[in-house]
């Protein structure tokens, strides 16, 4: 397994030092680093992840000494704003989901408790280095990983077979594919671009070899408008401008209408999207399949779209029981199986040893019996190395989303979006007291 965080240790140290300076202590006295506390009592759980209700129910049924109350949350970015405000007010949950993209920022703001004493060894023994380092910052463990999120191409196999099409191996082939699909049926597209979600632009830049954040000595480096990112931006700008893909705010109502009408026969998403597709259009069972991403040179290359861990927020009232709950839902085979109970979750488990549980638990009949986890594994193994998430991702994400609408309206370009966001991100980092190398 590749090391997704190689070279990021210095950046992590900078992030954690900010948290320690701001908060005085990185661990609550009543939390995992304090005196041993019997894991019992009530736990409040915040999550927007599908299947969270099912896994809470399963835990409560098998753990009589701990009662978990699940409170469903809005999707990001609203979720992180609410969590940050809760930490400031002291009205925090005991357990909260934290995507890998946002964990460094939560840690740097002092919003997470140090889980090293009670979970550090577990994380080391259970997860590969590539995943460990997504939750290990400054030598401390701040979250326990749940899933990885390798990117995939979802496509209507029946449509492709009917017209003798195959998933593209290169981005040049993909453009040709989108043109052919449009020519076959002017109302049909083999792709979509999201104007209300930053992940597609971010992660395809990652796949292309961009490194948006890094370190140089004791300073951060920012490369959002680097050459690889600009190449990706110009490529997708061309697809949008030429009408070869449709634009949607997110993969929500308008997008699903296109899927239901057979007007969308292909799109890019992560491994966890399989469950949503299956649950949203059950009438299309047996018609879909998944493939690995195209790459620029035809060689395997991928990135992760999301992926999540769970944290104990600063100020949590029952950190001991919270940690036991997190361990169960991330590392116990029964806990992992519970994520699939609703039929909506298709997560790729972060622990390789739990992959058999995923294959047994998620019915792939919707995909014609295809081993989608095998495809996910190939994509996961091809994730480009050396990617680091920055300490102000909330600013970066918002800046991208605020400008993506210009792409579909024709009032701006993706390349200019990158340049604007480069400047705004650098300013946000310097205003937080971080040094940014020129």
Distance CA 227, CA 223 (A): 9
Non-local (6+) Cβ contacts of 153 within 8 A are: 167, 168, 266, 267, 268, 290, 291, 292, 293, 294
Instruction: Mark whether 331 and 192 lie in a shared domain.
Output: no
Q: Determine how β-strand 219-222 pairs with β-strand 213-216.
A: antiparallel
Q: Does position 51 have pLDDT exceeding 50, yes or no?
A: yes
Q: Which domain holds residue 419?
A: 151-303+392-431
How many other C-beta atoms are found inside a 10 Å radius of the C-beta of residue 162?
Answer: 10
Residue 231 confidence (pLDDT) above 70: yes
pLDDT band (50, 70, 90) for residue 20: very low
Do 353 and 408 lie in a common domain? no
Mean of the pLDDT values across residues 153-175?
A: 98
Q: Using CA atoms, how far apart are residues 312 and 32, in angstroms rounded to an integer?
A: 9
Outline where 309-371 has alpha helix (H).
Answer: 319-331, 333-339, 355-361
Let me know how many helices (H) and strands (E) the chain has, helices first.
18, 16
- 99-112 pLDDT, tens digit per residue, is 999 999 999 899 99
> Among 71-75, 170-174, 382-386, 421-425, which is the least confidently predicted range?
382-386
Same domain, 163 and 298: yes
Q: Across residues 269-281, what is the average pLDDT?
A: 95
Domain-located, residue 296? yes
Q: 317 and 342: one domain?
A: yes
Burial of 74 (0-12, 13-18, 19+ CB in 10 A): exposed
Q: Give how far Cα 328 sits from Cα of 144, 234, 338, 358, Å.
A: 10, 44, 10, 15
Q: How far apart are the C-alpha atoms of 249 and 254, rounded to whole Å? A: 8
CATH number of the structural domain spanning residue 232:
3.40.190.10
Sequence-ordered strand ranges (E) for 201-357 = 213-216, 219-222, 246-248, 266-270, 288-291, 308-311, 348-349
pLDDT confidence of residue 10: 39
Considering the domain architecture, whether residues 244 and 283 belong to the same structural domain is answered as: yes
Residue 401 lies in a domain: yes
Total count of domains within the chain: 2
Residue 363 lies in a domain: yes
């Amino acid at each position: 397994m590749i090391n997704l965080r190689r070279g990021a240790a210095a950046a992590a140290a900078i992030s954690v030092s900010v948290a320690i300076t701001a908060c005085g202590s990185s661990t609550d006295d009543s939390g995992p680093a304090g005196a041993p506390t019997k894991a019992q009592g009530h736990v409040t759980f915040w999550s927007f992840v599908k299947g969270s209700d099912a896994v809470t129910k399963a835990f409560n049924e098998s753990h009589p000494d701990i009662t978990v109350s699940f409170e469903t949350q809005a999707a990001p970015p609203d979720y992180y704003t609410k969590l940050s405000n809760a930490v400031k007010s002291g009205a925090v949950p005991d357990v909260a989901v934290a995507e890998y993209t946002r964990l460094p920022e939560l840690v740097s703001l002092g919003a997470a408790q140090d889980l090293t004493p009670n979970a550090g060894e577990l994380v080391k023994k259970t997860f590969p280095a590539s995943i460990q380092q997504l939750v290990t910052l400054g030598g401390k463990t701040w979250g326990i990983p749940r899933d990885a999120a390798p990117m995939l191409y979802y496509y209507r196999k029946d449509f492709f077979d009917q017209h003798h099409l195959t998933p593209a191996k290169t981005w040049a082939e993909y453009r040709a594919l989108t043109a052919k699909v449009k020519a076959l049926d002017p109302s049909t597209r083999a792709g979509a671009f999201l104007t209300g979600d930053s992940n597609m632009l971010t992660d395809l830049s990652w796949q292309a070899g961009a490194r948006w954040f890094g370190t140089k000595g004791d300073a951060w480096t920012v490369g959002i408008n680097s050459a690889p990112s600009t190449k990706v931006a110009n490529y997708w700008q061309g697809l949008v401008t030429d009408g070869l893909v449709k634009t949607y705010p997110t993969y929500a109502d308008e997008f699903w209408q296109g899927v239901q009408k057979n007007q969308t026969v292909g799109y890019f998403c992560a491994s966890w999207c399989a469950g949503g597709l299956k649950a949203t259009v059950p009438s299309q069972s047996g018609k879909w399949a998944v493939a690995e991403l195209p790459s620029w040179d035809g060689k395997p290359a991928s990135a992760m779209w999301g992926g999540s861990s769970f944290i104990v927020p600063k100020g949590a009232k029952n950190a001991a029981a919270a940690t036991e709950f997190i361990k169960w839902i991330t590392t116990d085979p029964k806990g992992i199986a519970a994520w699939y109970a609703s039929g909506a979750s298709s997560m790729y488990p972060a622990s390789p040893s739990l992959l058999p549980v995923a294959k047994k638990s998620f019915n792939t009949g919707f995909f014609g019996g295809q081993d989608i986890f095998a495809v996910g594994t190939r994509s996961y193994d091809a994730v480009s190395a050396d990617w680091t998430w920055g300490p102000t991702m909330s600013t970066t994400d918002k800046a991208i989303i605020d400008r993506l609408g210009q792409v579909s309206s024709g009032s701006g370009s993706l390349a200019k979006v990158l340049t604007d966001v480069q400047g705004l991100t650098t300013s946000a980092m310097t205003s937080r007291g971080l040094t940014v190398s020129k």
